Structure 1
Amino acid sequence: MATLEKIRSKSVLLLVIIAVALLAFILGDFLTSGRSFFSNSTTVAEVGNSKLFGNTKININEFQRRLEEASQQAQAQGRKYDSAVLQQQVLTQMISEALFNEEMDRLGIKVTDAELSDAMLGQNAGYLNSMVQQQYGVESATQLHDMAFNPSKYQLDADQAARLRAIWIDLEKNIEEQLRGQKLQTLFMGTLVANDLDAKALYDENASTAHILYTKKDYSSLADDKYPVTDAEINAEYAERKGRYELAEPIRQVEYIAVDITPSPADIQAGQKRVENALAGLNTKEGATGVEDMDGFLAERKSLTRGAITDQAMKSFVDSATVGKAALVSHRGNDYTLAKLMGSTSQVDSVLIDFLMVQGTRAQVAKMVADLNGGKSFADAAKDSLVAGSQDSTWIQMTAADMASLRPAIDGATLGQWFTPDTLAENGRIFRVRQRKAPVTVYDIVEVNYVLEPSNATFNKLFTDLDKYAKTNNNAKSFKENAAKAGYNVQETLVGNSSPMIGNLNETHNAVAWALDAKKGQVSPVFGEQTDDRLIAVAVADTYEDYMPASYSDVRSELETRVRNAKKGDALLKQYQGKAKDVAGYAKAMGASVDTTTVTFGQIFIPGLGPNESALTAAAAAAKKGQMVGPMKANNALVVFTVTDIETEGRPFNADESAAQFVQTRGAGALSRNIVNIIKGRRKVQNNIPHFFK
């Protein structure tokens, strides 16, 4: 039956949608960690150290099933995806689900039979009803259940009934987990709420705004070499801030060379000559025959109104083209579009129709046509059990390619008269044409698209040159040092077991897998095929286990800046302390300008002064009107300011309003965005994807 086939084809998508709904309130993300050989060859990921549950494991077979579902969904939606990225996304979701299930088990959260029945078949079944209507075309979840467990009523055989029962059981499982998740969310939202003091404190923090007049002397105005920073000072700063550099998983610092596979100048010249030959063929031969034997030139016959043409260059072409002549319409990068005007006609392009899809015998379809023409309303007909789908008052474009077979019947139909163009023994479409727009000019064109690809010779040279460089410079040091001289640009990134790609380069997981298995200093072979966007070679510069070290360039730069800015701040404070009595005087002494800004105690960013200036924020909040504060050391400058005005918020304190704001900004509402990390806590995640997918 058509309904059953629809159910079978949509079942994977429905279950994926329900699974996503289970985690709809999860807004946080978390990093996976760890790369070591694992004892269980069927474990694709493992979350360890739970006192209650031991280690949580994700089985490779279940992971592959879920990965296949996600892949099918992406393909059905026409989405392009990087397979390694999709693997990490699916694994992250599965780990999240496992952690949630653990937490719900720990808390004893259960769903009663009555609650499940109500959500699937009772008053709260609206969500599921809508879903099964859209995906399966059945009236309700109740009808789907009836089809599964009372198949004789619907003339279903044993195999069909068994498939429906399996679908229903999966639905039950997913809805039950969704209900458990809702209960967990409700519990979590009650864990951190505002008391009266919290609500009043939050109100007070945002109740007043200080308008300040300030001047500043930026640390960047002082030469860095006048304030040297020693290794000992960097190491001391690192020791204080080491926790900020903890790693969620072992990391490898890699340096890589990526070479885009693009046409050479010779390829471009040859491609342009091919385009000229294609134009000559189109202009001397009938239709699109001039390019039929030319590899890479894809011709498509189209009927389009001017309004349906979205490309401005194509509009200009149809406005000025001569029938039978071809021209180069556009050339963007390596993409060429050619077109040939075959002719133009005046046609009705837009038609307003009513439509019914009937699942029944030819006689049943004919009877419904007769009933409709006899006065039966569209609304009543759409409710008939034979009707699988309907559309009321829908405009269709008659020049669309998929309307070619239906156009004669639509063009010849009498306005207001129901008819069927189908003559099959079973099933049929029923139409009524309600309105036709005035005829418009329809252009008959041949559109030819050509993408210039790199030649074999070009690819071979790019590959050979990079391969030679990697083999000659076969250690990380020379790989980096000699790149510029050879015409290459070396970039740096970090990879771990949870990294799906090198940097932001799609389809480079093979290079990641190599780097995770390689030793420090090793250089990879060249990765990439002619059909890829690029070639890539990788060198492992260093490996890090638990923390990013102070020696890592980005960490060292941050620490060095902090130590140096502290020294500059001390020097400027010593130089300008007591040199003036007001902001204008300090501005003159510093050779700086005077500016204004506003400061609220609860804000993170101070306009003109920057983010995370907690000392400045506190000082401005505590200062009285007219009081000068400073000079004081800020993160990036020496600052002096005076509070010129204090603006109090006009809205009076409302305990309920402030309590609700507290929940969303500092309480459970804010924490819910990171709920997965909260549940995971300090437990490590062992991501074994690289061991299964090289």
Structure 2
Amino acid sequence: MGIMGFLRNRAGVIIVIAIGFAIVAFLLSDAIRSGQGFISDSRTEVGEVAGESVSYKDFNQRVDQNSQQFKQQMGSLNSQMTSYVVENTWNQTVSGIILKKQTEKLGLVVGGDEIVDLLFNNPTQQVKQIFTNQQTGEFDRASALSSRKSADTDPSGQLKAQWVALEDNVQQQRVNEKYINLVKNGIYVNSLDAKDDYTNRNKLVNFEYVFKEYASVPEKDVIVTDADYKEYYEQNKYKFKNATETRTFEYVAFNAAPSKQDTLDAKVKIDKIAEGLRTSTNDSLFVAINSDTKSPIVYQKKGQLEPALDSVMFGASKGFIYGPFFSNGTYKIAKLIDSRISPDSVKARHILINPASSGGLDKAKATADSLKNLIQNGADFAALAAKFGTDASKDKGGDLGTFGRGAMIPAFEDAVFAGTTGQIITVATQFGVHVIEIEKQIGSSQVVKLAIVDKALAPSSVTEQGAYQKAQSFLSNASNAKQFDENAKKEGLNKLVGENVTPIQGSLLGLEDARNLVRWAYKADKGDVSNEIFDIGDKYVVAVLTAIKPEGTLSLEDVKKQIEPDVKRLAQGKVLKAQFEKNVSGATSLAQIAQKIGVQVTPVENVVFANPVIPGVAQENKVIGSIFGSQPNKVSKPIEGDRGIYVYTVKSFTNPAPLANVLKVKEQMEQAIAQQVDGAVFEVLKQKAKVKDNRANFY
């Protein structure tokens, strides 16, 4: 009773404590699961640059925009291209934030008149790309002005938002240019620098040397110690800075590519499809039902088809069937539907009637017919376009310029290329109903229309299941790194390595889309075997994480395997140098040294300091630098080069003629330095900006 009374009297306090404990436990469990603190925004932030967060939403919008631009140029994106777009967008974002902070500190601005000039009079490259006339290749200023004017009245606001983004980009780009130019204007080369550079490029030295490679020391005579590793590491520590964390993993791949039986079965199916296409009376419908690629059937000119078809279809008769043939992993059959002589390009204008704002498709067609009659009876086409048109061309009297095949949608294209000059026609497309005037048709060439059915050669379920079961069996018997190695050896599997993989890397050698595998690697601990089988292309992959290299200067342990050849060379160098020092002692000429160590004296002429190469051997900066600092006719001490040990004697120096034009050399040096400013400035600022990169959590 005492305990129950205590609980009743303090129930409120106990409940509050319990709720508080539950909240803390929830936060703790969430933090443990995510591996981050309570107030972490890493699930909504792609990163942080100089204290400014980069939200996933904003960054992903930029990625989408850049992806769309990339698709317009390349047609489609694979995993490698996608990774490139993400990386490029990140670099743009980082540099944008860093440079913006710098330009704001300096108070650099771009005036309104300057923006107008950069958009319409002396457009930037970005603006040119958007508003370049496809036929002339020239910047279309009228189109740019019309688009900007339309943005102010665009009911959706989408065009307005695009222009705001474009103007912001142009403005910041110009501000950045001003900043870089300020830095470039601060570059100065004095007369002493110019004279030194001139001397380094023109002063000649003639010398003789004896040389022995490190590799000449037998391995049995070399004992590599931990002290050797430490010595080399300390001397070369600056080389081992990791710009970002990297991870290394080993993996085995189980092949699920189509088997011989899969190929035979696919060939039987495609032969049946070929017979169906041969007897088809509705080729468009047949292609839509049977083809993997659902692309519209359009006229194409020579050079636009793939080579196998391009070589036969322009001389074939209607109804001709080519194939089946195999191309890029796909079986294809092609049927010639039509062949004709057609214009190469067309100049046209149109009035687009939008069914949504006209009361439906029937009313839009009726309006189009009325406009057609008015135009045929002498009405002003441009005036009607300005009044009834619903796209950007209305501000230009409906003018679409001159365009070739492929520039317009199929229904529109078929109508204008099949019509005649001066003809007024109406055509319905997915955009609405068009009233079109064909103003001019230019050139003529043969075009063909093909019905193409394609079927990708794919593995059967039996093939895929067989490969997956092998991967599953391997994984079930490999719970740690030791078992992974043992099973791979037992089954005779080839272990592949993903070495020093970066967080955002998208592909590996032989694995085009490996993002899921890379994501796993960045969540795993060293020695972990993947807890899933990765389906990558035509392979099932199981992996084990073998190394984690953190950002910053790597430890000796991290680079030990990497530097092993160099450390071995260091140990060989010690043995070889001791041999040289023994033989050099008391020698008065290179010939004596050469005889003692069993090599020849090699003469060299006309070497310059600026090109420190010993002909026939290698670039030897340290050796050539030592030579230019020596006195003639003296036997040098043994010098450790990159390839081996050298002893030399300088025969003579030839000084160049006095520098006649110091100003010209200074200008050349300043120009060379200025070319490096853009990248160098960004790298310095980036190092000081403390960039935090969380992209691996999202991409």
TM superposition score category, shorter chain reference: 0.7 to 0.9
What are the Cα deviations for residues 300-349 of structure 1, in whole angstroms up to 9, with x where unaligned?
A: 867666x436644435555997986645464356333444567x86x424
Question: 1:634 and 1:356, CA in 2 relative to 1: closer, same or farther beyond 3 A?
Answer: same
Q: Are positions 1:634 and 2:641 aligned together?
A: yes
Aligned Cα root-mean-square deviation (Å): 4.9
Please point out which of 471, 475, 494 is paired with 1:488.
494
**How far is the alpha carbon of 1:251 from its aligned partner?**
3.9
User: Secondary structure in 2 aligned to 1:608?
Assistant: coil
Change (3 A) 1:364 1:605: farther
Cα separation, partners in 2 of 1:432 and 1:193, compared to 1, 3 Å: same
Specify whether residues 457 and 300 from structure 1 end up closer, same or farther in structure 2 by C-alpha distance, changes over 3 A only. Answer: farther
1:516 maps to 2:522: yes
Q: 1:43 to 1:123 in 2, by over 3 A?
A: closer
Q: List aligned pairs for 1:319-468, cutoff 5 A.
A: 326=321, 328=323, 330-331=325-326, 334-340=329-335, 347-351=340-344, 353-357=346-350, 385-387=395-397, 389-391=399-401, 396=404, 410=417, 413=420, 418-422=422-426, 428-433=435-440, 436-437=443-444, 446-468=451-473
Q: Is the 8 A contact 1:249 1:496 kept in 2?
A: yes
Residues 1:673 and 2:669 aligned together: no
For residue 654 of structure 1, what is the aligned residue in structure 2?
Answer: 661
What code does the residue aligned with 2:114 have? A
Name 1:185's counterpart in structure 2.
180
Q: How far off its partner does 1:456 sit?
A: 1.6
Query: In the alignment, residue 454 of structure 1 is paired with which amino acid?
Result: P
Specify whether residues 561 and 69 from structure 1 end up closer, same or farther in structure 2 by C-alpha distance, changes over 3 A only: same
Residues 620 and 473 of structure 1: CA distance in aligned 2, closer, same or farther (over 3 Å): same
CA spacing shift, 1:639–1:99, aligned 2, 3 Å: same
| Inter-CA distance 527–336: structure 2 relative to 1 (3 Å threshold) | same
Q: Is the 8 A contact 1:356 1:430 kept in 2?
A: yes
Matches within 5 A, 1:540-579: 540-545=545-550, 546-552=552-558, 553-571=560-578, 573-574=580-581, 577=584
The alpha-carbon deviation at position 477 of structure 1 amounts to 3.3
Superposed counterparts of 1:165-180, under 5 Å: 169-171=164-166, 173-180=168-175
Residues 571 and 95 (structure 1), Cα distance of their counterparts in 2 relative to 1, 3 Å cut: same
Residue 98 of structure 2 corresponds to 99
Counterpart pick for 2:142 among 134, 139, 157:
139
Counterparts of 1:163 and 1:322 in 2: how far apart (Å)?
A: 48
Match of 1:44 among 17, 40, 46: 46
| Amino acid paired to 2:529 | V
Q: 1:243 aligns with which of 238, 242, 252?
A: 238
CA shift for structure 1 position 97: 1.8
Deviation at 1:234, TM superposition (A): 0.7
1:293-308 superposed matches below 5 A: 307-308=302-303
| SS in structure 2 of the partner of residue 483 of structure 1 | helix
Q: SS of the counterpart of 1:110?
A: coil
Question: Which residue identity is paired with 2:107?
Answer: I
Query: Do the aligned partners of 1:597 and 1:607 also contact (CA within 8 Å) in 2?
Result: no
Structure 1 residues 680, 604: closer, same or farther in 2, change over 3 A? farther
Pair 1:512–1:207, CA change in 2 (3 A): same
Correspondence for 1:80: 77
Distance 1:641 1:65, change over 3 A: same
SS in 1 for 2:522: helix
Give how far 1:444 is off.
6.3
- C-alpha displacement of 1:80: 0.3
* 1:567–1:38 Cα change, 3 Å: farther
Are residues 1:600 and 2:600 paired?
no
Counterpart for residue 207 of structure 1: 202
Structure-2 change in CA distance of 1:74 and 1:243 (3 Å): same
Letter of the aligned partner of 2:48 in structure 1? E
CA deviation digits over 1:463-515, x for unaligned, max 9? 22123223312212332454244223231422454555567844323222222
Contact 2:248 2:501 in 1 (8 A): yes
Conserved 8 A contact 1:356-1:431: yes
Instruction: After superposition, give the CA deviation of every residue in 1:160-192 in whole Å (9 maximum; x if it has no partner).
Output: 6x7676566545544442333122112221344
Shift of 1:126: 2.1
| Matched AA of 2:266 | G
Once the two structures are TM-superposed, the CA of residue 195 in structure 1 deviates from its matched residue by 1.7
Deviations 1:20-66 (A, max 9, x none): xxxxxxxxxxxxxxx96584324332346xxxxxx332233432333
Helix, strand or coil at the partner of 1:418: coil
Could you say what secondary structure the match of 1:541 adopts? strand
Question: Residues 125-183 of structure 1: CA distance to partner in whole angstroms, max 9, x if unpaired?
Answer: 524599768747773877777666xx7xxxx48x46x7676566545544442333122
Q: CA deviation at 1:453?
A: 0.9
Instruction: From 59, 84, 93, give the equivalent of 2:55.
Output: 59
More divergent stretch after superposition (577-586 vs 197-206) = 577-586
- For the structure 1 residues 295 and 664, does the alpha-carbon distance in structure 2 shift closer, same or farther, using more than 3 Å as the test? same
C-alpha contact (below 8 Å) 2:103/2:179 kept by paired residues: yes
Counterparts of 1:176 and 1:472 in 2: how far apart (Å)?
Answer: 60
Give the Cα separation in 1 of the matches to 2:164 and 2:623. Answer: 60
Q: Alpha carbons of 1:276 and 1:145: their partners in 2 closer, same or farther (altered >3 Å)?
A: closer
Counterpart of 1:20 in structure 2 is none
In structure 2, C-alpha distance between the alignment counterparts of 1:84 and 1:38, rounded to whole Å? 30
Cα displacement (A) at 1:229: 0.7
Greater CA drift, 533-542 or 180-189: 533-542
Distance 2:325 2:178 in 1: 58
Partner of 2:387: none
Contact 1:631 1:639 (8 Å CA) reproduced: yes
AA aligned to 2:142 is: E
- In structure 2, distance between residues paired with 1:371 and 1:204: 81
> 1:462 Cα shift?
1.8
Name the stretch that deviates more: 285-294 or 224-233.
285-294
Structure exhibiting the larger radius of gyration computed from Cα positions: 2
SS in 1 for 2:500: strand
SS at match of 1:229: coil
Is the partner of 2:519 in helix, strand or coil? Answer: helix
Tell me which residue corresponds to 1:8.
Answer: none
Question: Secondary structure of 1:40's partner?
Answer: coil
CA spacing shift, 1:282–1:215, aligned 2, 3 Å: farther
SS of residue paired to 1:523 = coil
1:525 corresponds to: 531
> 80-89 or 516-525: which moved more?
80-89
Q: Give the counterpart letter for 1:264 in structure 2.
A: S
- Contact kept, 8 Å, 2:115 with 2:171, in 1: the verdict is no
Secondary structure at the counterpart of residue 531 of structure 2 = coil
Superposition TM-score, scaled by structure 2 size: 0.72
CA distance in 1, matches of 2:684, 2:347: 54
Give the match for residue 89 of structure 2.
90
After TM superposition, the structure 1 stretch with the greater mean CA deviation from structure 2, 178-187 or 559-568, is: 559-568
2:201 maps to 1:198: no
Q: How far apart in 1 are the matches of 2:394 and 2:292?
A: 51
Of residues 57-66 and 310-319 in structure 1, the stretch that sits farther from structure 2 once superposed is: 310-319
Report if the CA contact (8 A) 1:303-1:443 is conserved: yes
Task: Report the Cα distance in structure 2 between the residues aligned to 1:231 and 1:577, rounded to whole angstroms.
Answer: 30
Over 3 Å counting, the alpha-carbon distance change for 1:644 and 1:369 in structure 2 is farther
Structure-to-structure mapping, 1:274-293, within 5 angstroms: 274-279=269-274
User: Matched residue of 2:62: which SS?
Assistant: helix
